[in-house]
Copies of this chain bind each other. A is one copy, B any other.
Amino acid sequence: MPGPLDGFRIIDLTAMVSGPMATMLLGDQGADVIKVEPPGGDLNRRLGKTRNGVTAIFLTSNRNKRSIVIDLKTSKGRALLAELVATADAFVQNFRPGAVERMGIGESAMRRVREDLVYVSISGFGETGPYAQKRVYDPLIQALSGLASIQGDRGAGRPRMVRTIIPDKITAITAAQAITAALLARERTGRGQHVRLAMLDAMVALLWPEGMARHTFMSGASRDRPIAQDLVFETTDGFITAGTVSDSEWEGMARATEHPEWLDDERFRTSEGRVIHAKQRLAMIERALKNRSTDDWLERLDAEQVPCAPILTPAQVIEHPQVAANQLVVEGEHALVGPIRQPRPAAIFSETPAAISRQAPALGEHTDEILEELGKSAADTSELRSAKVIR
Contacts and interface: CB of A to CB of B under 8 A. Distances in A.
A234 interface: yes
Number of this chain's copies in the complex: 2
Nearest to A166: B166
A350 B144 contact: no
Nearest to A216: B56
Interface residues of A, number: 149
A74 to B, nearest CB: 25
Contacts of A257: none
Contacts of A139: 231, 241, 243, 309
Which of A162, A173, A217, A243 has the most chain B CB within a 10 Å cutoff? Answer: A217
Nearest to A160: B230
A211 interface: yes
A162 B151 contact: yes
A86 interface: no
B183 A184 contact: yes
22 contacts: A3-B185, A56-B216, A128-B325, A130-B325, A135-B243, A139-B231, A140-B241, A143-B309, A143-B312, A144-B312, A144-B320, A144-B322, A146-B317, A159-B239, A162-B162, A166-B166, A173-B174, A183-B184, A191-B351, A194-B349, A212-B341, A218-B339
A192 B350 CA distance: 9
Given A135-B307, A144-B312, 4 more contacts: A135-B243, A164-B210, A169-B170, A196-B347
A322 B129 contact: yes
Interface in A219-237: 219, 222, 224-225, 227-228, 230-232, 234
